[in-house]
A = this chain, B = another copy of it.
């Protein structure tokens, strides 16, 4: 009786995790996979570890994602794209002042030791996977273009409003700025030192201030 109850419980638990609320299970798998990949790279992350952390069965995983690659692609298309929309695209789309918003974004970068040591989730996948998997490379490239495009549009809009120096090229300036931002996250990841990023935030802020129109 006790034993059969316990079996029933397990079955119920599995059902909850796999088919009762499939969207919730899918989101749980994605977020768990994102955290594991962010912590220890895509290639070093085993599916078993993700299943163990998410407490989801292999059957449920394969119901949502055909392979480890498909799960990885969804991390880029959904989780990392979502972060990029919230952090860059949305604030820049509504802003009354592109430079103010870019400075807010830079100054909002996490300086906790664990975040600094992990680097940028997008750039980590870019550096690890671009040479070995076209599917990752193209998806990551799409997110970089989304990020750069949103900075570029905001700078152009700032030029129209007379807030951003008219002589700069918005697209090239946006690319320069994102390269710098990613470069700093990479240096800080190697140094495991929030001080590197703190100095970067200061220097990127003066760089951004220098893009404002100079009123004589």
Q: Give this chain's copy count.
A: 2
In the complex, which residues of chain B have a beta carbon less than 8 angstroms from the beta carbon of A189?
126-127, 130-131
Say which one of A11-19, A80-88, A150-158, A177-185 lies at the interface with B.
A177-185
A32 CB–B CB distance under 8 Å: no
Select one of B132, B140, B172, B184 contacting A199, CB under 8 A: B172
A53 CB–B CB distance under 8 Å: no
- Shortest distance from the beta carbon of A186 to any chain B beta carbon, whole Å: 6
Whether A127 touches B130, Cβ cut-off 8 Å, given contacts A179-B186, A180-B183, A183-B181, is: no
In the complex, which residues of chain B have a beta carbon less than 8 angstroms from the beta carbon of A72?
none
Whether A196 touches B175, Cβ cut-off 8 Å, given contacts A127-B127, A186-B186, is: yes
In the complex, which residues of chain B have a beta carbon less than 8 angstroms from the beta carbon of A200?
175-176, 179
- Shortest distance from the beta carbon of A82 to any chain B beta carbon, whole Å: 19
Select one of B44, B137, B196 contacting A192, CB under 8 A: B137
Contact A141 B191 (CB under 8 A): yes
Within 8 A of B (CB), among A109-145: 117-119, 123-124, 126-128, 130-132, 137, 140-141, 144
